[in-house]
């Protein structure tokens, strides 16, 4: 798509992108609620869940929370889950910890991870936090074993809080019998839903602002159309908003209308 729409609307950069910086994240009431819950789980050394629809802002919320944990006090181990075995997950964790070890032994890998957690928390007095994004992809066999990673001194020391984020089936998977040891350590959970129309308007203005546009370009009907078309979800809203801005610029209209949003929607799945 041509970039002339940016010039047309006087934008300093591409609007509605995924690569916003930490400071540019809109701190919504939901993000505040997630922050509180994650901090609570970290204090207790327990498990917190962040679930939500696709593109609702889970990873962004995690980024906000993690980005605001002071690096001198916290060591966050962030991994994006795969549908692989627990061995694969352990390797990801070890890799993220910067440890150079290759092994096929689950026992050795867990021992290595736990030693490092102990060294960080006892030796260096840091709070270690394991964050697993896309945790809804994890196999049930992984859920059945994952809690063992968080057990120190017969489960009396909460050295490794765990934050799991993923789609809604994460909760369903945790309700299986084999997942119960892990599920029983969950102390807080938050579900991200599509936002209401008012919050969507705030969201659209926020991203326009990031692109250097200080006025709203969306007519009331266009805001409603983006909100409805996206089901209140941010990623889809990004695509509808950007697409409709392009459509408006093409027809040399200074405001985006519901019709522009409808045109943008025809490009999306």
Site size toward Mg ion (CB under 5 A) is 2
- Which of Mg ion, ligand ATP, none binds 55 (CB below 5-8 Å, type-dependent)? ligand ATP
Distance between CA atoms of 161 and 143, rounded to whole angstroms?
A: 15
Q: Are 192 and 61 in contact (CB under 8 A)?
A: yes
For the segment 49-68, give every residue that binds Mg ion (CB under 5 A): 58-59
Among positive and negative, which fits the CA dihedral 92, 97, 98, 102? negative
- Which of ligand ATP, Mg ion, none binds 56 (CB below 5-8 Å, type-dependent)? ligand ATP
Q: At CB < 8 A and 24+ separation, what contacts does 101-109 make? A: 106/145
- Which of Mg ion, ligand ATP, none binds 45 (CB below 5-8 Å, type-dependent)? none
Strand residues in 57-111 grouped as ranges (E): 74-80
Q: With respect to ligand ATP, which residue has the nearer C-beta, 94 or 246?
A: 246
3-class state of residue 165 by DSSP: strand
Q: Are 33 and 65 in contact (CB under 8 A)?
A: no
For the segment 141-160, give every residue that binds Mg ion (CB under 5 A): none
Distance between CA atoms of 102 and 100, rounded to whole angstroms?
A: 7
The reply to whether 167 sits near Mg ion by the rule CB under 5 A is no
Distance between CA atoms of 142 and 164, rounded to whole angstroms?
A: 13
Q: With respect to ligand ATP, which residue has the nearer C-beta, 127 or 227?
A: 227
Q: 241: number of CA atoms within 13 Å, CB side? A: 28
Q: With respect to ligand ATP, which residue has the nearer C-beta, 121 or 136?
A: 136
- Which of ligand ATP, Mg ion, none binds 54 (CB below 5-8 Å, type-dependent)? ligand ATP
Q: With respect to ligand ATP, which residue has the nearer C-beta, 58 or 190?
A: 58
Q: With respect to ligand ATP, which residue has the nearer C-beta, 52 or 229?
A: 52
The footprint of ligand ATP (CB under 6 A) covers 18, 20, 25-26, 28, 31, 52, 54-60, 234-235, 238
List contacts with Mg ion (CB under 5 A).
58-59
């Amino acid at each position: 798509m041509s970039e002339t729409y940016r010039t047309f609307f006087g934008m300093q950069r591409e609007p509605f992108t995924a690569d916003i910086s930490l400071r540019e994240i809109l701190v919504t009431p939901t993000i505040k609620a997630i922050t509180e819950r994650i901090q609570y789980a970290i204090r207790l050394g327990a498990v917190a869940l962040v679930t939500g629809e696709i593109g609702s802002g889970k990873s962004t919320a995690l980024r906000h929370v993690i980005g605001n944990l002071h690096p001198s006090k916290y060591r966050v181990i962030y991994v994006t889950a795969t549908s692989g075995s627990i061995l694969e997950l352990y390797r990801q964790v070890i890799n993220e910890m910067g440890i150079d070890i290759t092994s096929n032994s689950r026992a050795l890998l867990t021992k290595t991870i736990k030693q490092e957690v102990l060294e960080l928390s006892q030796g260096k007095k840091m709070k270690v936090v394991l964050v697993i994004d896309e945790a809804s992809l994890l196999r049930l066999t992984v859920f059945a074993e994952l809690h063992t990673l968080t057990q120190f001194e017969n489960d009396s020391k909460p050295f490794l809080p765990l934050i799991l984020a993923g789609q809604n089936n994460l909760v369903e998977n945790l309700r299986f019998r084999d997942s119960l040891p892990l599920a029983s350590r969950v102390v807080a959970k938050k579900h991200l839903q599509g936002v209401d129309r008012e919050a969507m308007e705030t969201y659209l203005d926020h991203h326009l602002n990031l692109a250097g546009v200080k006025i709203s370009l969306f007519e009331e009907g266009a805001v409603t159309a983006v909100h409805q078309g996206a089901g209140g979800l941010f990623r889809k809203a990004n695509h509808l908003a950007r697409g409709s801005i392009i459509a408006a610029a093409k027809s040399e209209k200074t405001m985006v209308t519901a019709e522009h949003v409808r045109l943008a929607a025809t490009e999306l799945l």
